[in-house]
Amino acid sequence: MREEPVAGVDAGSSGSSRNMDRKFRMALVLYAALAVLSWFTLDAKIPVGGRLVELKLVPLVIIGGMTLRTMVAMKAEKIRREKEDGH
C-alpha cells in the first residue's frame, strides 16, 4: 500500500511514521468505543461448556484479540522502520 505525501510533511519516514502513529491511536480509540458499546448493549447469557456466560464477554474477547494483533503489528512495523533507517 502506497501512502500519499501529506502537505507540509517530508516524504521521508518521519512523516509516514507520524501518520501510522495517528492511525494506530485511532484504531485503539475505535476498539475501545466498540468494546464500550458492546458492553452496554449486550445483556443475554449463553451456555458455554455447561455454564452460563454473559454474552457481553464474547465480543470483548474478540475485540481484545484484534487490539492485541494491532499492537503487535504496530510494534513489528516500528522495528522494520528502525532497521530500514539504520542501514
- Ordered by start, the domain boundaries in the chain are 13-86
Residue with cell 502537505: 7
Query: At a CB cut-off of 8 Å and minimum separation 6, what does 54 contact?
Result: 42, 43, 44, 45
Is the pTM higher than 0.75? The answer reads no
Task: Point out the residues of the chain with pLDDT beneath 50.
Answer: 6-11
In the prediction, which pLDDT does 87 show? 66
Query: At a CB cut-off of 8 Å and minimum separation 6, what does 20 contact?
Result: 74, 77
